[in-house]
């Protein structure tokens, strides 16, 4: 499984996540987004309906009935009820078992010490587990640059 670490330095999670979700759906993948708190899950839930005037991302949360039917599932849990191919972990969310995913993506805010420390620990754990790990950082133009 590929594990990617996306270091946010030039934009917020709310700006960076929707295009990544769109690309995942274009690949035909179902998506899980795991947050560290219910408050962040709920904020992302509201944001994905309104992030752009001409579009929205169809999604649901783990609080709603039939999570398996959701193309994008926002959750605080480590399970995979929508059988997602890709899992985004934000703000230091602990992944649990990642078997069954094609890709895991850790997004973390480079201006938040706690998120940086969590990402370092997750990087070590993912490498130790034998996953193919890559590190991406935003450049001044907000484009992702592969650093490792």
Q: Which residue range forms the structural domain that includes residue 84? A: 2-146
| Nearest-angstrom CA–CA distance, 90 and 19 | 15
H-run or E-run covering 72:
strand 72-75
Query: Against a cut of 0.85, is the pTM above it?
Result: yes
pLDDT tens string, the chain, 148 residues long: the values are 999 999 999 999 999 999 999 999 999 999 999 999 999 999 999 999 988 888 789 999 999 999 999 999 999 999 999 999 999 999 999 998 898 999 999 999 999 999 999 999 999 999 999 999 999 999 999 999 999 8
- Overall domain count for the chain: 1
Residue 107 CA to its chain's centroid (Å): 6
Nearest to 6 by CA among 97, 96, 60, 86: 86
Question: 67: domain CATH number?
Answer: 3.40.50.10110
Instruction: Say which DSSP state 80 is in.
Output: -
């Amino acid at each position: 499984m590929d594990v990617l670490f996306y270091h946010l330095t030039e934009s917020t999670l709310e700006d960076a996540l929707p295009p990544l979700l769109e690309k995942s759906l274009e690949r035909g993948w179902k998506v899980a987004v795991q947050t560290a708190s219910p408050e962040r899950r709920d904020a992302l839930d509201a944001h994905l309906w309104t992030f752009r005037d001409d579009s929205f991302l169809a999604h649901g949360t783990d609080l709603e009935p039939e999570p398996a039917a959701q193309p994008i599932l926002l959750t605080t849990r480590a399970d995979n009820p929508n059988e997602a191919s890709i899992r985004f972990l934000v703000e230091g969310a602990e992944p649990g078992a990642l078997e069954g995913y094609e890709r895991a993506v850790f997004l973390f805010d480079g201006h938040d010490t706690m998120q940086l420390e969590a990402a370092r620990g997750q990087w070590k754990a993912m490498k130790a587990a034998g996953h193919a790990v890559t590190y991406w950082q935003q450049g001044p133009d907000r484009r992702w640059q592969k650093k490792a």
